[in-house]
Amino acid sequence: MQLWYRSHVVSTELWHADKLSLLFDRAASYQRAIASKTRTAFSDAPESMLTLFYEPSTRTRLSFEAAAQRLGINVLTVADANTSSSAFKGESLEDTARIVSSYADVVVIRHPELGSAARFSRASSVPVINAGDGAGEHPTQSLVDLFTIYQAFGALNGLRVGLCGDLRFGRTIHSLLRLLIGNQCEIVAISPEELALPTEVLAGAPPSSMTFERDLHKALPDLDVLYMTRVQKERFTDPATYERVRNAYELRGQDLSRAKNKLVILHPLPRLSEIATDVDADPRAHYFIQAANGVPVRMALLASILRG
């Protein structure tokens, strides 16, 4: 009996009892398979990953999806969740988490509120990956950053890393700082006062590992790694402050004559004017390698989470 085969699903009008019970029997057997996690009813079906993005993204979402596809993991995407999901109708993040976590084996979420990924994870029945929670954290970007630094130097211990730009709202900075400190790097925090590291982020860093500098050109000659960031326009409540600091830094090709030969320049991207395009051809520019590393690093993460 193939009552459903290649049929349109437009109206309930013609759904008689036989047709329904056929479908319901099948649904029940999938339900048991999902509950038992054995996948017996669809044993050769791959895992699935759902990306739920309430903020714009190019690299993070696409590299997660590319990573999943290379691993043979199915992908479900909500790219503009703020307007295209039930959030628009006022559904709570917790309710959304309860629902969508029953549709996939892992959920990758980006959301403008600080702490949103943690809230979401408490209501989710499957692993949740934070792809950026407002000005909070962006842990997988930091894995990509650290992997890129590690591959360039072969070690992390003792490297002098300059974090430059929006240290206040830059979530990649907050996540990366913790990893760098944990791996015995020395940090030079380069920012104007308005964009300084938040006290709660700084709290985890031993004072002996931190130096503070306003002037990039002064800090540059001693750095092994320079991590530039975009001033996060979308986080400012006061446009006048943004206007004052938006062009705080611009690294140009000519500045690099004073930098180490082995300097590694990184940027999570997108860049605005903080790195001039004449830096791109310099072998010390590693930000496009860093962006490409998003795929293998996220493949490793997904495989580890889903396959052990």
- Smallest separation (angstroms) from ligand NCD to the CB of 31: 36
60 in active site: yes
89 in active site: yes
- Cα–Cα separations (whole angstroms), residue 77 to 49, 74, 98, 104, 283: 8, 10, 17, 11, 36
Over the window 220 to 239, marking each residue x when it contacts ligand NCD by CB under 6 A and - when it does not, the resulting string is ----------x---------
110 in active site: yes
- Smallest separation (angstroms) from ligand NCD to the CB of 145: 9
| 172 counts as binding ligand NCD under rule CB under 6 A | yes
Residue at token pair 């003792």: 158
186's CB contacts (< 8 A; 6+ apart) are 158, 159, 160, 161, 209, 211
Residue at token pair 């320049």: 265
| 59 counts as binding ligand NCD under rule CB under 6 A | yes
| 61 counts as binding ligand NCD under rule CB under 6 A | no
DSSP run (H or E) holding 100: helix 93-100
Which of 19, 39, 59, 178 is flagged as catalytic?
Answer: 59
Which of 61, 119, 138, 171 is flagged as catalytic?
Answer: 138
Contact set for ligand NCD, span 100-159 (CB under 6 A): 132, 138, 141
**What is the Cα–Cα distance from 22 to 136, expressed in whole angstroms?**
48
Which of 110, 111, 119, 174 is flagged as catalytic?
Answer: 110
Q: Closest Cα partner for 229 from 183, 181, 190, 188? A: 190
| 63 counts as binding ligand NCD under rule CB under 6 A | no
19 in active site: no
- Smallest separation (angstroms) from ligand NCD to the CB of 307: 25
Are 181 and 204 in contact, with CB atoms under 8 Å apart? Answer: yes
244 in active site: no
- Compare residues 59 and 178 and give the one whose CB is closer to ligand NCD: 59
**What is the Cα–Cα distance from 66 to 247, expressed in whole angstroms?**
34
Structure tokens belonging to residue 224: 């092994």
| 268 counts as binding ligand NCD under rule CB under 6 A | yes
Binding region for ligand NCD (CB under 6 A): 59-60, 132, 138, 141, 171-172, 230, 268-269
Q: Which residues are catalytic, by number? A: 59-60, 89, 110, 138
